[in-house]
Amino acid sequence: RYFIDWKNDVDSYFTIDATEGTIATNELLDRESTAQYNFSIIASKVSNPLLTSKVNVIINVLDVNEFPPEISVPYETSVCENAKPGQVIQTVTAADRDLSPAGQKFSFRLSAEASNKPNFTVHDYRNNTAGIETRRNGYSRRQQELYFLPLVIEDSSYPVQSSTNTMTIRVCRCDSDGTILSCNVEAIFLPVGLSTGALIAILLCIIILLVIVVLYVALRRQKKKDTLMTSKEDIRDNVIHYDDEGGGEEDTQAFDIGALRNPKVIEDNKLRRDIKPDTLRFPRQRPPVEDNTDIRDFINQRLQENDVDPTAPPYDSLATYVYEGNGSVAESLSSIDSLTTEADQDYDYLSDWGPRFRILADMFGEEESYNPDKVT
């Protein structure tokens, strides 16, 4: 009997007939992953299984041309704007994953759709290499930056395999010696001679201008807001409240009349805006008050002076004078007309004010009529 000495998973790719000893494949083989298999086969006697022998078997997987050749250089190259016709810009070679036999040949050509375009061509050197050559006198990045060149590569094995590889050709700016200076995309939109530093300087200037404009607009808005707030805080539009009842005729600080005046008018022309004066009059010197002047005449004189005074308080203010007028029971409370001595005083009228003023009438009445012993 024949059987395989199983040692690893590689042995599962093959099987053997126990009677005939025929070796066959059990799975599909791939030379590109495993090119050789090595395992052992054991033979034993049917009548006596202890009598055995072992032999090593090496199986080499033959190559089949199943993979097409591919370009071995990078798929992207460049061309100068000042290139001349017939100039070689790239040399290409091919690579095949199959086991290339001796004398393997690769051929290079353009695809059918690219053969009619007058931009680039392929020159096959017949030594498994080819050159990409220009067919125009100069290229412009502004018109077209990238060119796509389809390249067909074939091998000489059986069956023949071929592939189409698309190469990307980028147009760059070069100096007179053919040295590439710039291939960046943004360089297309820059004029000749404008460096990256100049571009950065221009961008910084634009940013600074934008910042200045934003700050200017912000200051204008802040100034306008402050003006509105100042107009709202005008003292003429506010309500002034005094929670003070005052201290009588001697309290001159209970109410500040200065808040009712217009500060601008006082500073400019000292004229009142609440009434329209007939003629412009200036304050005049007040004549001295005589000693025997009646208090009513004095008050009338002061009222007349304030009516024609342009710097006087507004007409809706309240001026208070200590004069009760004629007809008062107590007469005037002023001490102007008071007698000089208490002896001249006459208090007989106190007896007419009722029983509540009896004691006061007795005290200020005739001296002989007052007896403290009689006071209850």
- Strands ordered across the beta sheet of 52-60: 2-5, 36-44, 52-60
pLDDT band at 207 (very low <50, low <70, confident <90, very high): very high
Residues 74 and 166 in one domain: yes
3-state secondary structure of 52: strand
Split at pLDDT 50, 70, 90, the class of 358 is confident
pLDDT of 210 strictly over 70: yes
The answer to the question of residue 321 being in a domain is no
Q: What is the pLDDT of residue 147?
A: 93
Give the rounded percent of residues in the chain with a pLDDT score beyond 70: 65
Three-state DSSP state, 66: coil
Is 118 a member of any domain?
Answer: yes
Q: Give the residue-averaged pLDDT of 115-142.
A: 90
- Mapping DSSP to helix (H, G, I), strand (E, B) and coil, where does residue 123 land? strand
Element housing 57 (H / E): strand 52-60
Q: Are residues 95 and 50 in the same domain?
A: no
Tokens of 245: 């009842």
Q: Which pLDDT value is given to residue 303?
A: 81
- Domain annotation covers residue 33: yes
From 243, 264, 267, select the one nearest 254 (Cα to Cα). Answer: 243
| Distance between CA atoms of residues 150 and 120, nearest Å | 10
What's 327's DSSP letter?
A: T
| 58, containing H or E segment | strand 52-60
- pLDDT at position 320 is 59
CA distance 181 to 187: 10
Residues 81 and 136 in one domain: yes
Give residue 308's pLDDT: 80
Choose the final residue of a domain: 163, 179, 195.
179
- What's the confidence (pLDDT) of residue 114? 83
Within the chain, what is the greatest distance between any pair of CA atoms?
A: 183
Q: What is the 3-state secondary structure (H, E, C) of 5-25?
A: ECCCHHHHHEEECCCCCCEEE
Local structure of residue 239 (DSSP, 8 states):
P
- Cβ atoms 152, 166 nearer than 8 A: no
What is the reported pLDDT for 368?
46
Tokens encoding 266 = 């006082």
Same domain for 137 and 75? yes
Q: What's at 3, amino acid-wise?
A: F
pLDDT reported for residue 345: 66
Q: Which residues pair with 109 in a beta bridge?
A: 152
pLDDT, average across residues 271-288: 54
DSSP state of 253: S
Residues 154, 105 share a domain: yes
Q: What is the pLDDT of residues 34-75, one digit of tens each?
A: 889 998 999 999 999 889 999 999 999 988 888 899 998 778
Contacts made by residues 186-189, CB under 8 angstroms, sequence distance 24+:
187/141, 188/141, 188/142, 188/145
Q: Which of 33, 60, 87 represents a domain boundary (last residue)?
A: 60
Instruction: Please report whether residue 168 resides in a domain.
Output: yes
CA 376/CA 369 separation, integer angstroms: 15
pLDDT tens, residue by residue, 1-22: 999 987 776 668 899 999 999 9
For the ranges 69-83, 117-131, 232-246, the lowest mean pLDDT is seen at: 232-246
In this model, does residue 231 exceed pLDDT 50? yes
> Could you tell me the residue range of the domain that residue 48 belongs to?
2-60
CA–CA gap between residue 162 and residue 96 (Å, rounded): 10
The Cα 153–Cα 141 span in angstroms is: 29
92 lies in the same domain as 143: yes
- Overall number of domains in the chain: 2
Structural domain includes residue 43? yes
Label residue 265 by pLDDT band (50, 70, 90): very low
Residue 127 token pair: 């030594």
Cβ-contact 61, 36 below 8 angstroms: yes
The pLDDT-based confidence of 224 (bands split at 50, 70, 90) is confident
Where residue 221 falls among pLDDT bands split at 50, 70, 90? confident
Cα–Cα distance, 305 to 316 (Å, whole number): 16
The DSSP annotation for 154-217 comes to E-SSSS--EEEEEEEEEEEEE-TTS-EEE--SGGGGSPTT--HHHHHHHHHHHHHHHHHHHHHH
**Are residues 31 and 98 located together in one domain of the fold?**
no
Q: Is residue 255 part of a domain?
A: no
pLDDT at 227 over 80: no
- Residues 6 or more apart whose CB falls under 8 angstroms from that of 201 comprise none
Please indicate, yes or no, whether residues 172 and 79 belong to a single structural domain of this protein: yes
Output the pTM of the full model. Answer: 0.43
Look at phi and psi of residue 128 and say left if phi exceeds 0, alpha if psi is from -120 to 50, else beta.
Answer: left
For 14, 55, 328, the CA distances from 46, given in Å and listed in that order, are 23, 18, 164
242 located within any domain: no
| Rounded Cα–Cα distance for residues 200 and 47 (Å) | 95
Asked if residue 101 and residue 52 are part of one domain, the reply reads no
Check whether residue 120 and residue 148 sit in a common domain.
Answer: yes
Residue where a domain stops, chosen among 154, 179, 204: 179
Residues 153-200: pLDDT tens digits? 999 888 899 999 999 999 999 988 888 888 875 544 445 455 677 889
Residues 46, 64 contacting (CB under 8 angstroms):
no
Closest listed residue to residue 130, CA positions, set 146, 161, 147, 107: 107
In a domain, 23, yes or no: yes
Q: Is the peptide bond before 310 cis (omega within 30 degrees of 0)?
A: no
CATH number at residue 171: 2.60.40.60
Whether residue 155 sits in one domain with residue 115: yes
Same domain, 130 and 97: yes
